[in-house]
Amino acid sequence: MIGGGNAALCAAISARREGASVLVLEASSAFWRGGNTRHTRNMRCAHDEATEILTGPYTEDEFFEDLLRVTKGKTDEVLARHMIHESKAMLTWIAEQGVRWQPSLGGTLSLGRTNSFFLGGGRAMLNALYATAERLGVEIRYEAEVTDLVIEDGMFISATMKDGEMVTAGALVAAAGGFESNITWLKQYWGEAADNFLIRGTGNNKGTILKLLLDKGVQEVGDPTQCHAVAIDARAPKYDGGIITRLDCVVFGIVVNKNAERFYDEGEDIWPKRYAIWGRLVAAQPDQIAYIIFDASSLKLFMPSLYPPIAAGTIPELACELGLDPDALRKTVNDFNAAVQPGTFDDKILDDCRTEGLSPPKTHWARRIEVAPFYAYPVRPGITFTYLGTRVNKEARMLMADGRPAANIFAAGEIMAGNVLGEGYAAGIGMTIGAVFGRIAGREAARNARN
């Protein structure tokens, strides 16, 4: 197994339970193991009935419809349906590996029916998986970055680590994440703009394994510019800022770019559904920066986040704090305020507070920004993970460029997410992809190695 996150550990446990002897090669040290998995909190699994932690049923069909909607149909239906079907068993399987579930967390009620949360979060989940893997006799090596692979005609022969050590195995499961932390690679598609991207998770998912596999004849899947990207606090560190730098307040104000101009309808849809478009929107603005502007009446309406908002007594003063042109920001706010129509504010539904005659409009939750103090959050694109990956079949077995299945190479997790996610995102599906395909990949790799 190359990698040490959810996908790799599910694969390792499942392969070991099939009787294989398993070696996990994780690039990071023990603390940073499971680069992105350690930042997660939940997983989306289909279920026919409510459970003690899930408030109602979430059928396979509904899951699939959600997936179709968020990906705009860009998904491999056979694989997606297979994954969704298998996700049902995950609720029990994951718990059997020592992971504990809990009901949805405060502030995430909208996910209470569809998503199962890990007690203590992703690192707790991962700790449980590692403990189980170790107990079963899986060998785990840290600081074991794989830098080269020998693959001949669709057959994995050996992997070489950074220190030059070479290991051979009967089968390979690649679960080494996407290439989101490789800024140079991101620049191929995004240009210099990628320098201003913040990476929400690990700095270790550089796509080394993905690139090696693609170079050695594995079929590619997905659009390289597609990824999960949200607008996060611009003050977040370059890597590993995690969940706490996210901002849920776009719907409560307006969002302007560095020219103090609005550029998109902030009230398009209920927030969780729109959460994942703002990363790309900000990425398209000059210098990849934007500012959420709101007033005192909204301050306590959303989840707190890590950094305090920047505050000022007047809009021009706020502009100065942010380094924006005071007159331009005043004009944008005045124009917006003038366009706001009377209505009854309710952030739980698509309410009737909207603007009239403004471009772009704000179609819901539009309220005048007029109560001092005024606040702003600077935001930048925060990349969660990339979708470009290796194509796989229902056995999680990679397909070679010519369409033949690889002899003994499997993939799970981010590295093959693009099979299911052509674009868009549904909260919790990253972990579903890792766990379901990890479990399958491990089992199939073990059988493969045995034969």
Partner 1 sequence: MLATETKIAGTTLHHATAALAEADRLMTVCNSCRYCEGLCAVFPAMEMRRSFADGDLNYLANLCHSCGACFYDCQFSPPHAFAVNVPKVLAQVRNESYARYAWPRALAPAFARNGVTIATVAALSVAVFLFGFMLSNDPGTLFSKQTGEGAFYRLMPHNAMALVFSAALLYTLVAMGMGLRAFWRDIGETRETLRVPDYNAQASRDALSLRYLDGGGAGCMNVDEKPTKDRRRLYHHLTFYGFMLCFASTSTATLYHYLLGREAPYPIWDLPVVLGTLGGIGLVIGPLGLLRAKADRDPILCEESGRGMEQAFILMLLALGVTGLALLVFRATPAMGTLLAIHLGAVFGFFLTMPYGKFVHGLYRYAALVRSAKERESLHEPSPSAARALAKTSPKAAS
- Site of interaction with ligand FAD (CB under 6 A): 2-8, 25-28, 33-37, 39-43, 145-146, 175-177, 200-202, 204-205, 208-209, 242-243, 384-385, 413-414, 428-431, 434
Contact 385, 177 (CB under 8 A): yes
Q: State the binding partner of 204 from ligand FAD, partner 1, none, CB within 5 to 8 A by kind.
A: ligand FAD
Binding site for partner 1 (CB under 8 A): 31, 38-39, 41, 49-55, 91-92, 95, 100-103, 105-107, 116-124, 127-128, 131, 196, 198, 234-237, 240, 242-246, 289, 300, 303-308, 322-323, 378, 380
Q: How far is the CB of 401 from ligand FAD (least distance, A)?
A: 21
Q: State the binding partner of 124 from ligand FAD, partner 1, none, CB within 5 to 8 A by kind.
A: partner 1
Q: How far is the CB of 213 from ligand FAD (least distance, A)?
A: 11
Task: Choose between 44 and 262: whose C-beta lies nearer to ligand FAD.
Answer: 44
Q: Which of 72, 131, 172, 158 is nearest to 415 (CA)?
A: 172
Quote the Cα angle for 130-18-437, to 5°: 65
Q: How far is the CB of 58 from ligand FAD (least distance, A)?
A: 15
21-55 as b/e: b if 16+ CB within 10 A:
ebbbbbbbeeebbbbbbbbbbbbbbbbeeeeebbe
Write the burial class of residue 450 (CB in 10 Å: 0-12 exposed, 13-18 middle, 19+ buried): exposed
Return d(Cα 386, Cα 425) in angstroms, integer.
Answer: 11
Q: How far is the CB of 114 from partner 1 (least distance, A)?
A: 13
Helix, coil or strand: residue 114? coil
Q: State the binding partner of 116 from ligand FAD, partner 1, none, CB within 5 to 8 A by kind.
A: partner 1
Q: What is the largest CA-CA distance in the chain?
A: 73
What's 340's DSSP letter?
Answer: B
Task: Choose between 310 and 372: whose C-beta lies nearer to partner 1.
Answer: 310
- Residues found in the chain: 451
Quote the Cα angle for 406-410-411, to 5°: 130
Q: State the binding partner of 448 from partner 1, ligand FAD, none, CB within 5 to 8 A by kind.
A: none
Q: State the binding partner of 371 from ligand FAD, partner 1, none, CB within 5 to 8 A by kind.
A: none
Task: Choose between 92 and 344: whose C-beta lies nearer to ligand FAD.
Answer: 92
